[in-house]
Chains A and B, each alone.
Chain A
Amino acid sequence: MLSARGITKRFGGLLAVSDASIEVAEGKIVAVIGPNGAGKTTLFAIMAGFLRPNAGTVTFRGARIDGMAPHRICRLGLTRTFQIVQPFAGLTVRENIACGAHLHHAKRADALARAAEIAAQVGMERMLDQPAQDLTVAGRKRLELARALATEPKLLLLDEVMAGLIPSEVAEIIPTIRRIRDSGVTILLIEHVMQAVMSLSEEAYVLNQGRIIAHGTPQQLVRDPQVIEAYLGHGAAERLHAGHPGAQAHA
């Protein structure tokens, strides 16, 4: 469904993404993980049209989309959310979601009705008339998800929708995301919350210093010494093995 090949992005002298390739098959939940500053968000921004890669191509459902404007990519069925949530602060939850629903619903009444449906899908039906600026962090994350979902994407790019949430909120949003996938939306997500990655995704890519260093099931990846070192530092894999084999039982 989505295929990014050899993506490279430089910011001045900084190589943010280097020759990264990712494949997302239809109907899957795929994760991109990696330490802070690994280039995950940059990679997302390129795939959603917010940045132009220095090299490489992005193909979505058979069409080249690299360098295309974000709104055109969205109309093809690929919508992203933002890690730093960007609600339309002056509007209510319903109006926020309706802004997304208008992409496929010309009539105001239809868009508003669709917004209420989407809100129910992400568990916001009680907050419909609240101003977006009054929402909690968890509420804003859900709103970000709902607004993107309202555009009826085929592929949803979720940029850390769980960052900043407390564990009980994470536990609530995981089934929501799974339901979205079950409704026919393919999902590519960036995530720091490993609990979420482990339980949600069937497949994950590990990005470190702009490069894809590993690819596999999350269960394989947590045992991959290269991945452990990327997160915990040089030599961590051996120390972990020696000391706490039980640390992975969690997986």
Chain B
Amino acid sequence: MRRLGPGEGVVGILLALAAISPFVLPSQAWIGFAVNAVLISVLSIAWNVTGGFCGQMSFGHAALYGTGAYAAAMLQLRLGLNPYLAGIVGIAAGAAMGGFIGALAFRYGLRGSYFALVTLAFAEVLRILASSFEITGAGSGLTLPFRPGLANLQFPDRYAAYVFVLILCILALAVSAAVKGSRLGSNMVAVRENEEAAGAIGIDAFRVKVVAMIISGAIAGAAGVAYLQIQLFIDAPIAYGSLISVEALLGPIIGGAGTLLGPVVGTVVLHIVGEVVKTGVGGAPGLNLVFYGIVLLLILRFLPNGLMGLAGNLRWPARTASAARSAEAR
């Protein structure tokens, strides 16, 4: 198997430095930013399983994220379930929603932009449903009572929350790495590259795509649960809004879809750009989205393989040189 090149090593070290930076330079604004960036990274990792590994670009990952968050919130509020159990059920709910949307869409052979549209439609339908019914808190959303403590999976301050999302992010990366390095991961990539050829070598593309949606749904559901446990509040636009769906896909595309670290790199870079813009240019809400769009366009134009593609290029000169040397030695 291919060893990690220097580019990936550099990215890994930069990410590790970024991960500990909130502890080195403590500030309330910075830690709040970091919690959000890492949380969205988890969602990006989820998107990358379907969109990156398996090539099924979803435009509605909010459907999975929101379902995790709502399931966990409703179970705690309506049934008084322990937050850990509720969280696990939330993750399962995200996985089930992923499997359901996937099975439905792929059964009818939807690909490419049609699949993207169906996922978007699901997220929108769920958003409207969540804002219409009493059980989901309708327009006013759901608020968990503030009971900080490990027993309630609630955090006394932002640093504790940050540690929690960081652990979640590392777990999500571990799941993603395990998938990528397995038979399932190989099958996903084959389906992404050429579904017909994948079928010819014995790969059940339908099953592979649905399993990808289930895994992705579980990770996205976990991100939703984490958001709920940190903010203690969700409503329909937050949980099922299209902003979440957009954020889920921007990170992987900018960082490098299909790579392991790409989603995290993309999300972190994007959030830093957004933050710089916010402090530099000032107030207008939504201005960071304009800059997200600009970054996305620049990346698609100049770095179609994302930032990890750039990092991967670092490897080539060194590698060919050493390969040439070893060839000469022979």
Task: Identify the A interface with B (CB < 8 A).
Answer: 48, 50, 69-72, 74-75, 79-82, 86-92, 95, 98-100, 102-103, 105-109, 111-112, 129, 147-148, 150-151
> Do the beta carbons of B201 and A91 come within 8 Å of each other?
no
Task: Identify the B interface with A (CB < 8 A).
Answer: 1-2, 181-183, 186-187, 189-190, 193-194, 196-205
> Do the beta carbons of A106 and B199 come within 8 Å of each other?
no
CA distance A6 to B205 in the complex (A): 30
Which residues from chain A contact B186 at a C-beta distance below 8 Å?
95, 98-99, 102, 108, 111
CA distance A48 to B197 in the complex (A): 12
> 18 new A-B pairs (CB below 8 Å) besides A71-B199, A88-B190, A88-B197?
A69-B204, A70-B199, A71-B203, A74-B199, A74-B200, A79-B201, A86-B200, A88-B189, A88-B193, A88-B194, A99-B189, A99-B190, A102-B183, A102-B187, A103-B203, A107-B183, A111-B183, A129-B2
* Smallest CB separation, A33 vs chain B (Å): 22
CA distance A137 to B4 in the complex (A): 30
> Do the beta carbons of B193 and A89 come within 8 Å of each other?
yes
Partner of A148, one of B187, B198, B200: B200
CA distance A48 to B201 in the complex (A): 11
Which residue on chain B has the smallest CB distance to residue A75?
B202
CA distance A103 to B183 in the complex (A): 8
> Do the beta carbons of A99 and B198 come within 8 Å of each other?
yes
> Do the beta carbons of A74 and B1 come within 8 Å of each other?
no
> Do the beta carbons of A106 and B200 come within 8 Å of each other?
no
> Do the beta carbons of B196 and A148 come within 8 Å of each other?
no
CA distance A70 to B194 in the complex (A): 14
CA distance A129 to B181 in the complex (A): 17
Which residues from chain B contact A108 at a C-beta distance below 8 Å?
1, 181-183, 186
Which residues from chain B contact A90 at a C-beta distance below 8 Å?
189, 193
Which residues from chain B contact A74 at a C-beta distance below 8 Å?
199-202
Q: List 15 A-B contacts (CB under 8 A).
A: A71-B200, A79-B202, A82-B196, A82-B200, A86-B194, A90-B189, A99-B189, A99-B190, A102-B187, A103-B202, A107-B183, A108-B182, A112-B1, A147-B197, A150-B201
Which residues from chain B contact A71 at a C-beta distance below 8 Å?
198-200, 202-205
* Smallest CB separation, B25 vs chain A (Å): 39
* Smallest CB separation, B169 vs chain A (Å): 24
Which residues from chain A contact B190 at a C-beta distance below 8 Å?
88, 99
Which residues from chain B contact A70 at a C-beta distance below 8 Å?
199-200
Which residue on chain A has the smallest CB distance to residue B181?
A108
The answer to whether A80 and B183 touch (CB under 8 A), given A91-B189, A91-B193, A112-B1, is no
CA distance A94 to B324 in the complex (A): 20
Which residue on chain A has the smallest CB distance to residue B195?
A86
Which residue on chain A has the smallest CB distance to residue B193?
A88
Which residues from chain B contact A87 at a C-beta distance below 8 Å?
194, 197
Which residues from chain B contact A106 at a C-beta distance below 8 Å?
183
* Smallest CB separation, B219 vs chain A (Å): 21
* Smallest CB separation, A105 vs chain B (Å): 8
